[in-house]
Structure 1
Amino acid sequence: MSTDHQRYSTENQAEIIEAYAARRNFEIVRTYADEGRSGLSIAGRDSLKRLIDDVQQGRADYEAILVYDISRWGRFQDADESAYYEFICRERGINIHYCAEQFDNDGSLPSTVMKNIKRAMAGEYSRELSAKVFTGQCRLIRLGYRQGGPAGYGLRRHLVNERDEPKAPLARGEHKSLQTDRVILVPGPEDEVRIVERIYRMFVLQRHSEREIAEILNHEGVTTDLGRTWTRATVRQILINEKYIGNNVYNRISNKLKRKRVVNEPEMWVRGDGAFAAIIDRELFDAAQAILAARARRFTDDELLAMLSNLLASRGELSGLLIDEDDEMPSTAAYRHRFGSLVRAYQLIGYTPDRDYRYLETNRVLRLLQRDAFEHTVERIREMAIGIEVDPQTDIIVANGEISISLVMIRCTETAAGSLRWKLRFDSRHRPDITLAVRMNPDNRTVRDYYLLPWLDVGRLATMRMGEENGIALDAYRTDDLDPLYHMLRRHPIGRAA
């Protein structure tokens, strides 16, 4: 089931399945349940994965699998996916019984036709529901209501009732309790508002770069709303976000039906202009956007390389620091994005550094990716109203005061034979309860998969070498996304027995 309040609750399903088993004289010997999990993909469906693995590895000590109905395999957008899982079971001699369907799964033509129709209907249900939810969210955006996500520095979320009357502020991680209530953004503490105004003035009037602004704020001891130091990225987010002039903008990024994340063009954005109280003057905001647009003018490859050659001629050497310090030069990020790396750009102008910087380049990318992944993970955990603390020295996350988590990005290397390898080093000093290992693809810029490794099982190891396939003993901890981690950390109510 995907939510805690619906007719598909696992308790209701269990009752129907038990009644079906009693009528057929079946004895239930094992139960697989994925509670609170989306059925759009198998990612995060640990119990379904375990069932399939038990069947394939010959550990299934049963002759039949009882399923509530066809949609409980999942509401996959490809109807053949649920058919594939059923085929795996039948191929091993295990029959599938659908307890709430009006037909027997006996392989007859009517049964086959009905199953295919039901599988397609299950996927279509998700598509229709997604469209309805998106339409409702767009309507609320245009009316000026916030749709999820943190408020951001200098702003706060505030609850209003159905008559738009203020009710109460919402702290980070808190959610509304009434369906008729709505959330708006309001100016935050005065000191934060002043910092936001100062960032715009430093950028527009004093012509400081984002990096320089971050250094100034850090030097003064000012921290972000997350209690962290400022970076170029956090300053830039304040400079480009329209919420600071009161605009409510939605659908910049789409990730519908668990499909690939898509960055939408501005014409696809959903807008509610003037929805909130502005804390930045519109003219100041527009001036900042003009500066950013002029600086982001798209140079041709030849222009970028010519500018790099001129810098080399004037300085006699090249480095990322020299490029970023020159106000007339595009940033090193522009060169990395266009040519893949700074080293490649150096090669194209015939410059060979004294050192081989490829390893350092990969390290730099991994550090940036680790910081982004860390902040995203922390934010997701907070959104679920889970108590969380972060050690600023070690970046170890402690959830609910109980579970400590360490995030590690693992570089991908290729052997001479073309095989992929990863080497993981465990934090034996702090011994986190869970090591969240992020395996990178060969480009070391995109994520391949994740491993949730408990210290109780792997703590005896200082390092771990991993291949593309590692056997069920290790790959049982593998996941395509972080949904299993969030599900594990979520608090679950436990019923009381009389």
Structure 2
Amino acid sequence: MRTNARAAAYVRMSSDHQDLSIGLQMVAIQAYADDHGFSLVHTYEDAAKSGLAIANRTGMKSLLRDVMETPRPFDVVLVYDVSRWGRFQDIDAAAYYEYTCRMHGARVIYVKEMFGTTLDPMTALLKTMKRAMAAEYARELGVKCRDGQDRAIQLGFQMGPLPPIGFTRVAVDRSGHRRHLGRHQLKGSQSERIAWVHGPQWEVDLVRRIFRTYADVGGSIKGVARQLRHEEALTGDGKPFTEVSVGTLLRNEAYVGNFVWGRSDPNSKRPPSRADGVIEPIIPRDLWEEVQKKLCRRQYRRRTRAQLIQALRDQLEANPTLSQVDLEAIGIAAKKTYSTEFGSLRAALALAGRDLSLVRDHHKRRVEVGRAVGDRVQRDVIGLFRRHGIDCTPHPRSRIILLSGGRRLRLQLSWPHASPEGKRWHVLKKTHPRAELVLFVQMDDGPCAHSFCLQTAEEFRRLPPWMPEKPSKAFDALYSGEDVVSRLVALLPP
């Protein structure tokens, strides 16, 4: 039967190197749509996302949100097969999400399944069986993967992200040959295993100093983090130390020679896998135990719900239009802490008495001022470049400056936020619109630029999330138009 119905495609591929690529799914869906007279109007995609849960599947969540709109943007949802819809361990979840679409007038069709599109009992039975098969496949695969990981751990190999500093990775092949890997470099083949070894000596020395400093009388996580930021010390990912990263470092058993895997998964029914003494330790056992005892003694000092709300009230009294970014700059508590205790940071701010109308009005004014100042700064930068013989034009709909040779420079403005350590500027890691170069403009409290930072997009992505009042070497701050031009000329191809 041919129709003129509007169709949405939903495609998903896990990160387990399966052959069922997004492209293959789209070819099958497009062919089905052509054969049945459907017009594909939208594609919802979840690339490298597990089908076990909906939490991180932005494509699926967008689809379910759109299907409830009035008017509904599509009439049919086309999916490759039942497993692409999801491998939910509770198979009723898959049925519920399909029923949600059907309840709002959009059928879900699995284009590669043998059962039809009708709602007869046989189709319902086959769907239930296929959902159970998809769930069981995921469960068995998870068991096999975990067994393989456990075996690798017992053999003395490691996996997962490195600790903040102190270790680097080596890939070990079947013959025992070892080669060093960069921090984010992938291993060459599936047969290689990863082992952690000591990193540069200065990192090892810094780890030992952090443990000793915390163990000393009066030492605290907050004090250690503040001292490391003052020294402009960075983690292995190039980020400044925070209380969270220092706390993570002090609790990581890798520094005493043990590897623990699977502790952070709250949904796992299996205990964490561990292997003691498989890593060359950086910290002696007595210092490790001293630090752990001190951490345990201080756990009871965590703030209560009332104290967390009072901390927000104190900040709101000083700044009624407080935003999440302001709170990150102040550092009174992690967003995760408020989300765990109150469901979300927004809910906690509401309990603390934040007036949303004030926040919205303030945000609206900031957007208007930011747009006007951004337009002026963009004109000034273009004028500066042209006066120095650099051919450039503004993009009509964004803060992009088009340079000769097809290169694009993104202009990004940031205003200061107050913090206990002085002013800080939020470095927002935008990916759109796409650009090869980024000119980060550090504004003062008004409409004037304080300094500039001009880097390639790749360098910019590695910057710390906050720029202090006295920028570290990573920012390479520029304080004049001539400095900006010189830096741009150095970055442009001859």
- Please indicate the TM-score interval, normalised by the length of the shorter structure: 0.5 to 0.7
Paired with 1:199 and 1:361, the residues of 2 have a C-alpha distance of 34
What is the 5 A alignment of 1:227-376?
A: 227-256=238-267, 268-293=271-296, 295-296=297-298, 298=300, 331=301, 334=302, 336-337=303-304, 340-341=306-307, 357=314, 359=316, 367=329
Paired with 1:228 and 1:26, the residues of 2 have a C-alpha distance of 53
| Compared CA separation, residues 192 and 422, structure 1 to 2 (3 A) | farther
| Compared CA separation, residues 290 and 19, structure 1 to 2 (3 A) | closer
1:172 aligns with 2:211: no
1:6 aligns with 2:47: no
Superimposed CA distance per residue, residues 30-71 of structure 1 (whole angstroms, 9 cap, x where no aligned partner): 352415133334445454455445544355676654432222
TM-score when scaled to structure 2? 0.58
Deviates more, 1:57-66 or 1:184-193: 57-66
1:40 aligns with 2:43: no
- Asked if structure 1 preserves the Cα contact closer than 8 Å seen for 2:169 and 2:194, the reply is yes
Paired with 1:163 and 1:225, the residues of 2 have a C-alpha distance of 29
Paired with 1:33 and 1:152, the residues of 2 have a C-alpha distance of 36
Superimposed CA distance per residue, residues 182-218 of structure 1 (whole angstroms, 9 cap, x where no aligned partner): 2111111111212222233334466633444445445
- SS of 2:359's partner is strand
- Asked if structure 1 preserves the Cα contact closer than 8 Å seen for 2:33 and 2:40, the reply is no
Identity of aligned residues (%): 32
Paired with 2:354 and 2:19, the residues of 1 have a C-alpha distance of 51
| Compared CA separation, residues 17 and 340, structure 1 to 2 (3 A) | same
| Compared CA separation, residues 31 and 245, structure 1 to 2 (3 A) | same
- Asked if structure 1 preserves the Cα contact closer than 8 Å seen for 2:77 and 2:109, the reply is yes
What is the 5 A alignment of 1:399-418?
A: 414=350
Q: Which amino acid aligns with 1:248?
A: F
* Alignment partner, residue 390 of structure 1: none
What is the 5 A alignment of 1:171-190?
A: 171-190=182-201
Paired with 1:113 and 1:88, the residues of 2 have a C-alpha distance of 19
Superimposed CA distance per residue, residues 84-136 of structure 1 (whole angstroms, 9 cap, x where no aligned partner): 34334444555443322222232222111111222233233333323332232
Q: Which amino acid aligns with 1:341?
A: Q
- SS of 2:202's partner is helix
* Alignment partner, residue 484 of structure 1: none
* Alignment partner, residue 94 of structure 2: 82
1:202 corresponds to which of 194, 197, 213: 213
Deviation at 1:268, TM superposition (A): 3.1
- SS of 1:195's partner is helix
Superimposed CA distance per residue, residues 142-191 of structure 1 (whole angstroms, 9 cap, x where no aligned partner): 322221113421221222222443112x2222221310112111111111
- Asked if structure 1 preserves the Cα contact closer than 8 Å seen for 2:78 and 2:109, the reply is yes
Q: Which amino acid aligns with 1:254?
A: D
- SS of 1:34's partner is strand
Deviation at 1:341, TM superposition (A): 0.1
Superimposed CA distance per residue, residues 417-452 of structure 1 (whole angstroms, 9 cap, x where no aligned partner): 9997793636726779999xxxxxxxxxxxxxxxx9
* Alignment partner, residue 462 of structure 1: none
| Compared CA separation, residues 197 and 252, structure 1 to 2 (3 A) | same
Deviation at 1:366, TM superposition (A): 5.3
Cα RMSD (Å) of the superposition? 4.5
Paired with 1:66 and 1:160, the residues of 2 have a C-alpha distance of 44
- Asked if structure 2 preserves the Cα contact closer than 8 Å seen for 1:415 and 1:421, the reply is no
What is the 5 A alignment of 1:97-108?
A: 97-108=109-120
- SS of 2:45's partner is coil
Question: Tell me, which stretches of 5 or more residues in structure 1 are unaligned?
Answer: 257-261, 299-330, 346-355, 375-408, 436-451, 457-498
Paired with 2:124 and 2:157, the residues of 1 have a C-alpha distance of 47
- Asked if structure 2 preserves the Cα contact closer than 8 Å seen for 1:413 and 1:420, the reply is no
- SS of 1:158's partner is strand
Question: Tell me, which stretches of 5 or more residues in structure 2 are unaligned?
Answer: 1-11, 337-344, 375-398, 400-409, 414-429, 435-494
| Compared CA separation, residues 433 and 51, structure 1 to 2 (3 A) | farther
1:126 aligns with 2:138: yes
| Compared CA separation, residues 100 and 434, structure 1 to 2 (3 A) | farther
- SS of 1:253's partner is coil
Superimposed CA distance per residue, residues 361-382 of structure 1 (whole angstroms, 9 cap, x where no aligned partner): 99796557798579xxxxxxxx
- SS of 1:292's partner is helix
How many residue pairs are counted as aligned between the two chains? 350
- SS of 2:43's partner is coil
What is the 5 A alignment of 1:15-94?
A: 15-20=27-32, 25-30=36-41, 32-36=43-47, 37-43=49-55, 45-53=57-65, 55-57=67-69, 59=71, 64-91=76-103, 94=106
Deviation at 1:8, TM superposition (A): 2.5
- SS of 1:208's partner is coil
Deviation at 1:141, TM superposition (A): 2.3
| Compared CA separation, residues 361 and 245, structure 1 to 2 (3 A) | farther
* Alignment partner, residue 192 of structure 1: 203
